[in-house]
Amino acid sequence: MKIYAFEVRDDEREYFEELSEIPEIELELHPEGLTRTSISELEPGCGVTVLGMYNYRRPELDMMKNQGVIGLSTRTIGYNHIDIDYARRIGLHVCNACYDPHGVADYTIMMILLCLRNYKQALWRTQVNDFSLTGLMGRELKDLTVGIIGTGQIGSTVIKELSGFGCRILACNRHKNPAVSGLAEYVSLETIYREADVISLHLPLTPETYHMINAEALSRMKKGVVLINCARGALTDIKALISGIESEQIGALGLDCIEYEEDIVHRDLRTDILSNRDMAYLRQFKNVIHTQHMAFYTDSAVKSMVHCGVRGLVEMAAGKKCATQLC
């Protein structure tokens, strides 16, 4: 089976090379993204694996189907860059990736601690030999209530790791996860907004969760809330975040993802002007920590994403339903 891999990063190549030894597959690696031009050059009967920096909507999916593509895999957990409903309608199989949740969970805990301990300001000061303490007093997790919105694999792992800090943990999810029984108290979203000192988001981006953190939601939260998002940027309304920081309704932001980041993250833009003005403005505040969508980025996770992306295509081509199949 011929498998085309697009958006291949240098750090993925060794894991693709491991898979190239499998006799029944032939891998062709491309660092560039999958475009309409490259779709037209695909061999019939092939599989395609991509990352999440390009969108695949009706025109692209129709082209893949007409070109004879058997399956499309995204080497990411998120899949909002693919029109899954339309892929299902035309019979194009799609799967996403899976990886151990500890990397993102660890990163989330780190973000919480960095925000609570005013780390950005402390780091700035030490760069100019200012070792004073004024304005840097932090807070301890044991004295706080943390709200976790979304208790799937990552959210539940965050809860398990947080349980060692002695904080009160509230959780909200459509269905209760027995894995966190005794560690967190399931409550309504309204209760989390009202009582949590720290709120961390661990949800997929869907029409229902889009901009769930908006101006109205922020107004129902505790004054000075610490908000963490290591999930999907568009869960939060960036303009509402700016207003929340300016009004001090938000005490600190820890963002590994941000709305309209698609043309910015994972690129070297040191000599460019950022196209996202709201992002450029928001990230300069002393109490906003913003990183380049890298919470997932560990050696273990990258290997899993590559292997999962290829394995899913092989299984779908064989008529099997793979563990991460979306349609």
User: Would you please indicate which residues are annotated as catalytic (active-site) residues?
Assistant: 232, 261, 293
* Spatial distance between the Cα atoms of 250 and 239, rounded to a whole number of angstroms: 13
Nearest to 295 by CA among 232, 238, 242: 232
Q: In what order do the strands lie in the sheet with 2-5?
A: 26-29, 2-5, 47-50, 71-74, 93-95
On the 0-12 / 13-18 / 19+ scale of CB atoms within 10 A, 279 is buried
Q: C-alpha angle with apex 280: 274 to 283, nearest 5 degrees?
A: 140
Residue 253's SS3 state is: strand
Closest CA to 76 of 49, 103, 52: 52
Q: Which of 78, 70, 84, 79 is nearest to 4 (CA)?
A: 70
Rounded distance between C-alpha atoms, residue 233 and residue 293, angstroms: 9
Q: What angle do CA 321, 325, 327 make, to 5 degrees?
A: 95
26 neighbors 317 (Cβ within 8 angstroms) = no
